[in-house]
Each structure stands twice: as structure tokens, then as C-alpha cells.
A and B are shown apart, each in its own frame.
Chain A
Amino acid sequence: GIQVEQSPPDLILQEGANSTLRCNFSDSVNNLQWFHQNPWGQLINLFYIPSGTKQNGRLSATTVATERYSLLYISSSQTTDSGVYFCAVEQGGANSKLTFGKGITLSVRP
């Protein structure tokens, strides 16, 4: 099956710093999502981005499908950005399903 690798596995930032989170995948995909799992355990959709670039406030994401990677940018980080960031991909087909990476644990310190 498809492999999803996220890096770095852990990241510690000072509040106000910027960061880039990476997701590499081993085969072509027709669906890619970024999720944020907050410290209370909720899984929140950030982006649905199988290709191209999207922005939502301080967060933006870029997927280069031909090169099989996606990047999540966090600017001016806040303590509320802490948590685990998951990348998930799907290859397509009638009964395909999302494959999740292991996640990136982000800690933003005040």
C-alpha cells in the first residue's frame, strides 16, 4: 500500500516563530488532507488539498502532486497551534480509503 512519511516527528517552537511541516507519499494520490489533533484529542480538518496551494489565516498548504509531497506552513505560531498534525492521502478507486502518516507533534511555547 501507499506509504506516508511526515517530518520532522517533533517540533518545538517559540511563540511567534514560523514553521514548515512536510508530508511525503510514495504513489500518486487524488486526495490529501491535513488534520490538527489538539491537546483535547479533537481531529480538526485544516485543508483538503490534493494539489495546488491554499491559505487559511496563518496557515497555508501546498501540494506538489507530481513530486509526491505536501507542505503545511504555520506563520506567527501561537500556543493554540500545539498538538499533532496528520497528513492523510487516498489513491482513488471505488472503495479506497485514507492512509494516515504518523503525525508531527508540535509544541509552541509562550
Chain B
Amino acid sequence: DAGVIQSPRHEVTEMGQEVTLRCKPISGHNSLFWYRQTMMRGLELLIYFNNNVPIDDSGMPEDRFSAKMPNASFSTLKIQPSEPRDSAVYFCASSIRDRVGYEQYFGPGTRLTVT
């Protein structure tokens, strides 16, 4: 299996621009997670989906952030408009949620820099 795939791996953009991050989960996995990692705040869960349905978006920092999962093999995280404080590494992770416990696998991350 190719693992969780994220694109782009690096993104540099100017403040005010729209940013779209993409994720392809591991085939057969039915849960998908978006995380953000910064030095100051560590690893934060932004939102997660079960069977393409958003379950908990309480970690989404503000209305500028939105996430979609139109099908089982694709998800996007969009920031519009972007701000310098959004600079971070954004990780996507997936798992199989067909039992009580599950093992979560992370993608390589997208390093976002907003100038």
C-alpha cells in the first residue's frame, strides 16, 4: 500500500491567498483526520471524518478553515484567506474504524508558509 498521500508537500503563499491541501487516505480506511503541528502548540486535531461524514470539527481554529471529504479516497483542507499565523505543518491521517480500537497512520505532511 502507498500509505497516506498528501499534496503539496510544501506550500508558500502570501497572506490573503486561498490555500488548498489534499489528502488521499489508505485504501479501505474509513476514518480520516486532519492535524496541525507547530512548535508553540504541538500536534492539534483539527477535524475528523468517519465514512466521509465530519464528526468533530471543534479543533478548526476559525471560519477561515474548512474541510471536505467528497468520497472515501479524497479530502481537502482549505484556508481562505490565509494568514501568517496559519504557517505550520498539516498532517492527514487515516484508520479503519470497524472495532473499538484502531491504528492511525499519518501522511508525510504539508509544510505551509504564509508570508
Contacts and interface: CB of A to CB of B under 8 A. Distances in A.
A97 B56 contact: yes
Interface stretch (B15-23, B43-51, B75-83): B43-51
A90 B101 contact: yes
B63 interface: no
The interface residues of chain B, by DSSP majority, are classed as strand
B100 interface: yes
Interface of A: 30-31, 33, 35, 41-45, 48, 50, 86, 88, 90, 92, 95, 97-98, 100, 102-103
Interface of B: 33, 42-43, 45, 48, 50, 55-56, 89, 91, 93, 100-106, 108-109, 111
A43 B91 contact: yes
A31 B106 CA distance: 16
A97 B105 CA distance: 13
B102 A31 contact: yes
